[in-house]
Amino acid sequence: MRSAINALRLTDFRAYAEAQLAPRGRSVFLFGPNGAGKTNLLEALSFFSPGRGLRGSALADVGRRGPSEAVGRAWAISADVDVGDHQARIGTGLEGPGDARRRVRIAGETAPPSALADILRPMWLTPAQDRLFLDPPSERRRFLDRLVLAAEPGHGAWASDYEKALRERGRLLAEQPDPAWLSALEARMAKAGARLVMGRAATVEVLRAEIARREGRPFPRARLVLTGAWERMAGDGQGGEPAAARIERALADALAQGRTRDAAAGRALDGPHRGDLAVFDVDKDRPAAECSTGEQKALVLNLVLAQAARLSRTESAPTPILLLDEVAAHLDPIRRAALFDEIETLDLQAFLTGTDEQLFEALKGRAMGVHAEASRLTVRD
């Protein structure tokens, strides 16, 4: 079910006092100098999903703020979106500068942020992910969880539940709480953790199959390995017990047995928050961390495209919207052209940014060109 943005409106978002863009379902490439507001526009689009957007910013920080203003203003973004054979109007933002949570409206009615996934599924790649294979495991887990979330919106709730229970358990261990109370919290943590593990394992399996289907494209082939013990349990297939139930039971037992150790360490030393995603370049037969910067970028991009390709064939859910920030500059001309062709072949809407208009020469006539400067948008179609 193709999903595409027809019109976008921003009010007091980052440096934009007001901005409007009407791509009418087409892909968009934004070009202009650094600091022109290109990434800000992609960030606004990323807020059409649960969470804090592609920068992970606090909600109060994205409101426009004048030189003398200590707090960002209330902000709003809205869009008219084609979803299959109908159109939906969606919006989100803060109604007041001091609001603790953003509001979401769909067709004028208040809705939870999770409801946005029925209309839009933004997926993004940013320069911050250029060091994905060199950064700590937490960054790779976050990246993988975003890929899972694009296919399974409920994954975000399980991740949130697990993180909340993890923090609360840490506080309780420092206070020597009632064991029954702690057991109840660990049961909640184990349930969320098991679902988290199953989502990650299932997505990696699907990505492996999708990457195998994509052989022959000019992107490096990736071999994916989940190194976490709990993620590996998801594919063990022991006995007749469902994997999720087996992981939940084993994780609850491990947490109970590790209380003294975790209290001394000041953190939980076991659980899905300790796993990692290992990525290898099949053609070079080496870990991604040992590849060149350009090869690493192409590997990450291939993972995003593989998930997007898989979701583009899913008729019961919206297709992804790709937000690709400064991606083209890191690709050689062959891979850049292949990326543009892939977006068109998969019938996806993408928003791409770059400082140099020439990077998007092969997209002219196929996508809307927009010049950004000083947070002003000028269509150069």
For 19-39, what is the mean pLDDT?
95
**pLDDT cut 70: percent of the chain above it:** 98
Q: What is the pLDDT of residue 229?
A: 87
Mean pLDDT score of the chain: 91
Instruction: State yes or no: pLDDT of 103 exceeds 60.
Output: yes
- Strand ranges, E, within 84-178: 86-93, 103-106, 109-111, 121-125
Instruction: State yes or no: pLDDT of 9 exceeds 60.
Output: yes
Question: Where is pLDDT greater, at 179 or 166?
Answer: 166
Q: What is the pLDDT of residue 236?
A: 66
Rounded Cα gap, residues 165 and 153, in angstroms: 20
pTM above 0.85, yes or no: yes
Instruction: State yes or no: pLDDT of 239 exceeds 70.
Output: no
For 348-370, what is the mean pLDDT?
94
For 117-145, what is the mean pLDDT?
93
Domain boundaries along the sequence of the chain: 1-120+318-381, 129-315
Q: What is the pLDDT of residue 237?
A: 57
Residue 83 amino acid letter: V
Q: What is the pLDDT of residue 238?
A: 59
Instruction: State yes or no: pLDDT of 69 exceeds 80.
Output: no
- The confidence band for 67, taking pLDDT boundaries of 50, 70 and 90, is confident
Beta bridge partners of 321: 122, 349
| Dihedral (CA of 17, 20, 25, 27) sign | negative
Q: What is the pLDDT of residue 219?
A: 87
| Dihedral (CA of 107, 378, 357, 360) sign | positive
For 136-149, what is the mean pLDDT?
94
Q: What is the pLDDT of residue 250?
A: 95
For 2-17, what is the mean pLDDT?
94
CATH 3.30.1180.10 fits 129-315, yes or no: no
Under CATH, domain 1-120+318-381 is a member of which superfamily? P-loop containing nucleotide triphosphate hydrolases (3.40.50.300)
Rounded Cα gap, residues 66 and 265, in angstroms: 44
